[in-house]
Structure formats: C-alpha cells, structure tokens
Structure 1
C-alpha cells in the first residue's frame, strides 16, 4: 500500500508492505496529521497554539498533547543552552520544530498499533521506519539532484535540518539571527521526535552542534559544515 498527501505544508508519503494493508490502514495516519495541523499550527488563527499565544488560554486549559509538546520544547531549549527556542523575542509562539517530528512519530505508532510490521513514513524528508532494512537517501546540501549519503535503517528515524528547502528559516535562539556554521545536519535516533528536534537544535547551535548532537543518547550524526567538510559519527548507519 502506498499513499501520498500534502499535510502540514509538506508532502507525506506512506508505504506499508504488510499483505493486509489498504487505504483503510493509512486513514488514521493522515487523519491524525490533519488534526495536528488544525490544533497546533501557528498560522491558523483558531488553533490551540494561536489561542495560547494570544493569551486566550491558561495553562490548565491546555490539552495534554500541547502540554507534552511544550515540555519537550523546554527540554531541548535547556539542553541546547537556548539555541533551540520556540518563543523568540518579537515572534509568536511557534512549536513547529517540535510538532513535526512528534506528530509523525505518533502516526507511526498508530500504524504499529494497527498491526503494521514493515512500513516507511516520510514527512518532507524526515523518515520513520519499522521493519526493514530500508535505504534512505539524504539530499546533498548544495546540489539538488545528488545525494550526499545513503543510510540503512531498521526500526528507527532520520531527520535532516538544512537551508536548501526554506532558506535561513532556523534561527539561533541565543541571538535571534539565522544559524550559521553548518550546511546540513542529519540525525538518526530511535524516534523521529528525538531525531527531528536534535537535528534542529544542532543546526541552530552551528559548528558546535555536531558534537552536541553526537553526545545525545542514541543519536548518530552526519553533517556538512560551512567549510564543506563532512563530519560523521562512527555508528552512523551508512548503507553498504
């Protein structure tokens, strides 16, 4: 079973290789992602995030899901010494850097709970896999038609932060300015929640972010810095 939809501002593709899989298998995945977009998008005036940012909600009014997301945001803000921050001065609350990985990981868990044992869920280039192994290509940070690495992944997740799709959209929370020092950073972790947040925080940290991400438990890193040097941890699962 294969299905692609545009959700949360990017294409989401799902492939399930189990014999029983059909469109009904995928329905809860895409329904959940559409729900997340409606509830957590800072670009929707009626979303829970926007209402919180305008002061219309108190802490006790928040859904358990948003409390979880905000707690994760604070965890990564502290761990990155402020480089990862969803509350930048002069800007509204924007937890998208956490919501994407968290929600797609939850979608993968919905699939697994429905009995899927071999699938690949790709959300705008960030990937969760079950079963496998699966081969995942990472785009070259400067050459759109080339890959800089292909990795092999089983029961895990991979996320990349870079400038090539959205320009200088990742800001260093310590300065409020676009992050520099890295062209791209790819993180492999047990869950996409960890992989995506760690990749974003590492990119925001700049050159020091590679060592920071590599020190995170369960994380492996592949990065290209501003000098075009490739940096890779020993356990990064490069495909043979």
Structure 2
C-alpha cells in the first residue's frame, strides 16, 4: 500500500485529550494511535483489532492469503472474478471511481502491478525487475475502467489483476475506526493512521505538517475539530534512483511534480485519496470535478501553494 510519507503528527492531544494518552497499535504496515479523553473500552479495542484484521485479509497485497492477492494470481479463476467485499466497501470503490475520473486516469488502483515490478513488492526487495520498465502502465496491466467495475460492495474483475488501494485504503480504514468509536460512545478522539489523521473533538486540534526532507521538523500546521488531514510525499517510501510509491497511473512511473501534498476533507478516505491526487492533478481541476477539500502543496521546484480556506498555513509559504 501507499503510505503518507509527509506525515501529519498531532503536536498535542488537543482540548479534552490529555488524560489517558494514546493507544498505539500496528495496522496497514504503519504505527497507528488513538487518543481519547477517557481510556477506550475493551470492547472498542477488540472491535478496532477486528476491523484491521478484516481489512488486511481483504485488501493487503503484502499478504498471500488476502482476497486481492488470490484474485491477482489466478487462485480465484481466470475471469471474470466477482469479489464479495465487506459491507460498505462500495463507498471506497465509489471514491476511487471519482478520483480516477477527476485525474484523467492518473489515480488507478491497478498500479499495484507497477509497484511490484519496480521493487515495492511483498518481500520489500526494492529491486527493479529485469525488463519491467518497458512494460509499465496500461499496456502491461490495463486500467481501472477497462478491467474493473463494481456493483455495490462487489468488485468484478475481467481477469486476474492486482488491486492496490493504498491511495485511499488507510484513510478508509481510519473512517471505519472512527465510526466504531462513535458507536462505542467515544465522542472525543484523534485517530492517527500512520500520519493520516481523523479528528472528532469539541475544539480544534493542532496538527503539524512534517517536513518531507526532515522528519524531525514541521513545515506548517493546521487546526481541525471535525474532519481529517492526510499527506503524501516522496521521502519515506523511496528507493533506487528517483523511485517512490506514488505512481502516475498513465505511465506506471513515479510522479515527479511534487515533493509533498496535504489535503483536508470531511472523511479520512477522501483526504487520503486527494493527497495522492494532488501529486498528479492540479487542485483547481480536482475541485472542478466536484471534490471538496482544502490543501497545501510543496512542488519539486521549491515553490509552495495553499488553498484559500486552509485552516492553517505552510511556514514556507
């Protein structure tokens, strides 16, 4: 899965969140934490663990036993392949459809095959496969619109294909965790999903925006009480010469225009997906498609930009 490399880490728990500290656990290959006013009920913790296991057993391309791994390598047949997904998964697939259209195909879950070819594989070999560079992109693996479609919570693949939900999946899982917390009676919380942050609080929580060149520094900050902020960057999941995990779906190659991007949206899934989309498509084009967000970007040429309504600032802007 893709990771938000330019992570936003809460600088302080925020009003009402200084009591019990954070519950820290592992999910989606990242360190997660949940901060709340009161200790999380045991039932809520068990529910979160169950959500994580269910999500990874379905979507993790790093697990050989996951549903998408079995669909990719032919164990579920040669196609068409109908994947009956957990309830609510259709919302994530709807978001992927919107992002795929808004970016002109540059956000594409089928880039998983390109990531493997470039070395970001289940073994974390970070070794480019011989001859793979000439076979990247749609010619080698097809496109989301050609190979896949969904009917509610069911995903239908015309043929075996590796689906990578890294651009949205971590945020989507964070939203599921947030919904579970609310159902458990936990009203005041911050879910830090390895740098993608979902906030549900009575007062704004200040969140630092990590310097993509130095993880010990921040280059900006935002404050939100309800909603999410997510970031993408090239510095963490990077290997080789110019290789990183944010790929252009039209070429299968790493995006080169940006160094880091952050998006604020109503849901963590939307913020997660938009932070990746901003690497590939201009903010005004995404907004014109009907997507609603605020953002900040650091370009590879050293320039920076923030949206007019950003609830914070970049210190470099």
Superposed displacement of residue 67, structure 1: 4.4
Query: How far apart, CA to CA, are the structure 1 residues paired with 2:81 and 2:172?
Result: 20
1:224 is aligned to 2:298:
yes
Cα gap change, 1:69 to 1:156, in 2 (>3 Å): closer
SS at match of 1:154: strand
Which structure is higher in RCO with an 8 Å CA cutoff and minimum separation 6?
Answer: 2
TM-score w.r.t. the length of structure 1 is 0.89
Summarize the alignment of residues 81-230 of structure 1 with structure 2, pairs less than 5 Å apart: 81-88=104-111, 89=137, 90=140, 92-131=162-201, 132-167=203-238, 168-203=244-279, 205=280, 208-215=281-288, 216-230=290-304
Moved more, 23-32 or 151-160: 23-32
In structure 2, stretches of 5+ residues that fail to align are 1-19, 112-136, 142-161, 239-243
**1:149-206 Cα shifts (integer Å, max 9, x gaps):** 1110111000001012112110001111100111111000000011001111121x1x
Question: Structure 2 length normalisation: TM-score?
Answer: 0.69
1:10 alignment counterpart: 30
2:98 corresponds, among 61, 67, 75, to: 75
Quote the RMSD (CA, aligned, Å): 2.1
Distance in 2 (alpha carbons) for counterparts of 1:111 and 1:133? 19
Structure 1 position 23, deviation (Å): 4.3
SS at 1:11's partner residue?
Answer: strand
The number of aligned residues is 235
- Max Rg structure: 2
CA shift for structure 1 position 42: 1.1
Higher helix share: 1
Deviates more, 1:217-226 or 1:180-189: 217-226
Q: 1:31 to 1:61 in 2, by over 3 A?
A: closer
